[in-house]
């Protein structure tokens, strides 16, 4: 399985009063890495497809915190595709600092037309993008390992 890597330095705005990264910021880190992956593949999080505005609303998000990250730390956010459906994607994320695992997360998104008068309309992922994302698709065994709780791996 191929992973996409994004790097980010922890800034003051990312931290709480104890000087560690606030739990909610990890979702921003994951989302930013996903957007960087899409850009690296020649896509965007919002794009035009067949004359309609398309995007990726989240339907699920989770994060398991393993060790603290602090102001000034440089984080490596690894992104992989755990599941690619006809209309949806599930991404897996591993966040590290100097090789130490800091957090693991998952997000599930649905490819949708955003500008419908009736609301969001799920559509199939455009074939060219689905093919490019396939380079980052985990095998079934890798996806299953990604669902194993960290406590069971100890």
* CATH number (domain holding residue 119): 3.10.129.10
Task: Tell me the pLDDT band of 149, cut-offs 50, 70 and 90.
Answer: low
Task: Tell me the pLDDT band of 12, cut-offs 50, 70 and 90.
Answer: very high
Domain contains 144: no
CB 38 within 8 A of CB 44: yes
Domain contains 16: yes
Query: To which H or E segment does residue 133 belong?
Result: helix 127-133
User: Mean pLDDT over residues 110-116, rounded?
Assistant: 93
Domain contains 148: no
Q: What is the pTM of this model?
A: 0.89
Number of separate domains in the chain: 1
Domain contains 97: yes
Domain contains 99: yes
CA atoms within 13 A on the CB side of 77: 26
Domain contains 12: yes
Domain that holds residue 30: 4-139
Domain contains 33: yes
Give the residue carrying structure tokens 């909610």: 24
Is pLDDT at 151 greater than 60 in this prediction?
Answer: no
Is pLDDT at 1 greater than 90 in this prediction?
Answer: no
φ and ψ at residue 137, rounded to 5 degrees = -75, 125
| Amino acid 84: pLDDT | 94
pLDDT tens, residue by residue, 49-94: 888 999 999 999 999 999 999 999 999 999 999 999 999 999 999 9
Longest dimension (CA), the chain: 50
Domain contains 145: no
Average pLDDT over the chain, rounded to an integer: 91
């Amino acid at each position: 399985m191929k992973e996409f890597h994004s790097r980010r330095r922890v800034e003051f705005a990312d931290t709480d009063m104890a000087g560690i990264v606030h739990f909610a910021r990890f979702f921003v880190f994951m989302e930013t890495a996903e957007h960087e992956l899409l850009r690296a593949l020649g896509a965007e999080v919002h794009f035009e497809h067949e004359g309609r505005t398309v995007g990726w609303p989240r339907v699920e998000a989770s994060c398991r915190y393993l060790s603290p990250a602090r102001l000034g730390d440089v984080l490596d956010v690894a992104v992989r595709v755990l599941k690619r459906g006809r209309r949806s994607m599930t991404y897996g994320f591993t966040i590290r600092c100097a090789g130490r695992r800091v957090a693991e997360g998952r997000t599930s998104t649905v490819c949708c037309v955003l500008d419908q008068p009736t609301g969001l309309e799920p559509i199939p992922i455009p074939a060219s993008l689905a093919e490019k994302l396939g380079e980052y698709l985990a095998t079934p065994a890798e996806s299953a390992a990604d669902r194993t709780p960290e406590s069971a791996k100890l």
